[in-house]
Amino acid sequence: MISFDDLKSLATSFPEVTEEPHFEKTSFRVKGKIFATFDQKKNRVTIKLTPEDQDVFSLGDHGISPVDNKWGKQGWTFIDLNRTSKEIFKDAVTTAYCEVAPKSLAETVRKNLPG
């Protein structure tokens, strides 16, 4: 199972990320823009993806699905930390960071990806 500490470790490994409260959740932001929030009660992360990336990550039974309202149509996506794998989790959160971050920061992260 993926924990909050796993999320925090990954999210704060990216350049210029801050951890801030967001209502009853914890958010991770780059340049003030949220790319991920953590809901402790549901052990769930919500991330910001493009609708196209959301479609790809939602394929299969990996615990990833669009938010069930207008936010989901804008790319906001749930990750059930009890159901997803660490590899898919890392890929999805990294993609969310790169979607929200300024181009130069996203390029820095992409350059350091394996493969």
CA pair distance 42, 81, nearest whole angstrom: 9
Transcribe 59-111 into DSSP letters.
Answer: SSSSSEEE-SSHHHHTTEEEEETTTS-HHHHHHHHHHHHHHHS-HHHHHHHHH
User: The domain at 4-106 falls in which architecture?
Assistant: Alpha-Beta Complex (3.90)
> pTM of this prediction?
0.96
Spans of all domains in the chain:
4-106
| Percent of residues in the chain assigned helix, strand, coil, to nearest 5 | 40, 30, 35
Per-residue pLDDT tens for 31-77?
Answer: 999 999 999 999 999 999 999 999 999 998 999 999 999 999 999 99
